């Protein structure tokens, strides 16, 4: 089945630094990937839709200059949290769909802690 | 906008059946999904149902869809301790089946 690999699984960074999270589709091409954020004991909130070769589409209330998304190839999307602050600490999850309507495949998530 | 609701918590004994319920508001959803999340992990797709179906069964899992009432349920037969996790229902958004709106999640606790 479809596999989505997300790295790193866990990262701790200092306040003010930037962190890059990678999302790769391993055995299929994904023109569209999605980035979600999950707060503790809460549901997933869609942050943005990553489109290969074009700009990402951000959901309302998500700062595009803070959460930079790059989808340079059909198998890789990256999310960079710029100038991270403690309130950016969260669980970030990406997903991709093969395009068959059978459900999105999710990465294993990245736990970001900003200290 | 879209809104997907679930009960927060369900506790069952091993061997019993579990039924997790979900209500949604977007009647134009194409697909409805059930995902499982274990602590600190990503989401695992369990099953999904197309909106023109009423029921789908896959081994221990049975999905029922009442489109009139916008109600979706997941029944897990012979629940095991390994089924303890958070279960999310999700609906595809009007703009495309890949874009999902997730429910609030139901924490299932299975006791021996």
Condensed to tens digits (0 to 9), the pLDDT of residues B99-112 reads: 788 998 999 999 99
Average pLDDT over residues A41-50: 88
Say how far apart CA B10 and CA B24 lie, in whole Å.
19
Query: What pLDDT, in 10s, does the model give residues A58-106?
Result: 999 999 999 999 998 889 999 999 999 999 999 999 998 776 656 788 9
Extract the tokens encoding B110.
């299975």
Is A97 close to B98, i.e. CB distance below 8 A?
A: yes
What are the phi and psi torsion angles at A104 (to 5°)? -75, 145
CA atoms of A108 and B102, how far apart (whole Å): 17
- Is residue B18 within 8 angstroms of chain A, CB to CB? no
Give the confidence band of B27 by pLDDT, cuts at 50, 70, 90: confident
3-state secondary structure of B17: coil
The verdict on a CB contact (< 8 Å) between A93 and B42 is yes
């Amino acid at each position: 089945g479809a596999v989505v690999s997300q790295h790193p699984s866990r990262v701790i960074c200092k306040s003010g630094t930037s962190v890059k999270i990678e999302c790769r589709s391993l055995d299929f091409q994904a023109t569209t990937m999605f980035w979600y954020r999950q707060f503790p004991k809460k549901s997933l909130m869609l942050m943005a839709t990553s489109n290969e070769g074009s700009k990402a589409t951000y959901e309302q209330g998500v700062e595009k200059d803070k959460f930079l998304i790059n989808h340079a190839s059909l198998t890789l999307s990256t999310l960079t949290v710029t100038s991270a602050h403690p309130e950016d600490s969260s669980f970030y999850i990406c997903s991709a769909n093969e395009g068959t309507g059978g459900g999105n495949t999710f990465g294993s998530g990245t736990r970001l802690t900003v200290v | 906008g879209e809104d997907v609701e679930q009960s927060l918590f369900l506790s069952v004994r091993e061997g019993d059946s579990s039924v997790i319920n979900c209500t949604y508001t977007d009647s134009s959803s194409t697909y409805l999904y059930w995902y499982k999340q274990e602590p600190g992990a990503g989401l695992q797709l369990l099953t999904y149902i197309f909106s023109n179906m009423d029921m789908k069964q896959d081994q221990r899992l049975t999905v029922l869809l009442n489109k009139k009432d916008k109600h979706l349920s997941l029944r897990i037969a012979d629940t095991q301790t390994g089924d303890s996790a958070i279960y999310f229902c999700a609906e595809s958004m009007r703009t495309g089946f890949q874009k999902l709106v997730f429910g609030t999640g139901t924490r299932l606790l299975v006791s021996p």
